[in-house]
Amino acid sequence: MKGVIFNVFEDFVVKNFGEDVLEDIVEASTLDTAEPFVGPGTYPATDLVALVVTAADKLGVTVDQALRACGRHGFPALASSVPTLMAQFDDAESFLLGLESVIHTEVRKLDADASPARFRVEQVVPGELLMHYESPFGLFGLVHGLLDGVGDWFSVDFTHEMVAADGTNATFRIRFGEAVDGGEPVGAVADA
């Protein structure tokens, strides 16, 4: 997993809970990596999972809640790293339809070590997408959080729910034009 994703996690913890809490989490986690995580580096995904599991335990939330809050917090950093690509999209729906073909494809081109999740996104009817997530990691909470972040970025409300899961893969249904679904807000994690 690229260092940029570890940095998103670290930034989330530091901004919401402080440097000391991050240090505690790192110390309490069994990691393969001894050195600091740097953006261009590549590290075992198991280290990220270990950090998130420890963080969730320390903060008294579920791993899914921690991943979701982290994804929402991290979307602006990811989007800001590819300003020219983001400029191609006027709205959340077209962004999500281009997530695989434009964004993650470019991420793979720029860095041979990067293997972001694969998405197949289909428009079922106007205003409704099915997003098929394929990954060896099954980071479903992170997908929800990044989707929350997409809503924030484009200032639009849409619902997203996981409608099927098969091992580490899953399908999410996204509906525009309704109130945001009832997932735990970031504040609930920060207050824990």
Residues that bind ligand HEM (CB under 6 A): 1-2, 4-5, 78-79, 81-82, 99, 103-104, 107, 114-117, 135, 137, 139, 142-143, 146-147, 150
State the minimum distance, in angstroms, from the CB of residue 44 to ligand HEM: 11
Residue number, 69 or 117, with CB nearest to ligand HEM: 117
Q: Supply φ then ψ for residue 186, to 5 degrees.
A: -55, -40
Residue number, 166 or 191, with CB nearest to ligand HEM: 166
27: which residues sit within 8 A by CB, 6+ positions away?
none
Among residues 92, 98, 99, the alpha carbon closest in space to that of 117 is found at 99
Beta strands in 6-157 (DSSP E): 118-125, 128-134
77: which residues sit within 8 A by CB, 6+ positions away?
4, 7, 8, 11
State the minimum distance, in angstroms, from the CB of residue 138 to ligand HEM: 7
Q: Which amino acid is at 85?
A: L
- CA atoms within 13 Å, Cβ hemisphere of 150: 24
State the minimum distance, in angstroms, from the CB of residue 63 to ligand HEM: 14
Residue number, 4 or 51, with CB nearest to ligand HEM: 4
Residue number, 22 or 150, with CB nearest to ligand HEM: 150
State the minimum distance, in angstroms, from the CB of residue 181 to ligand HEM: 14
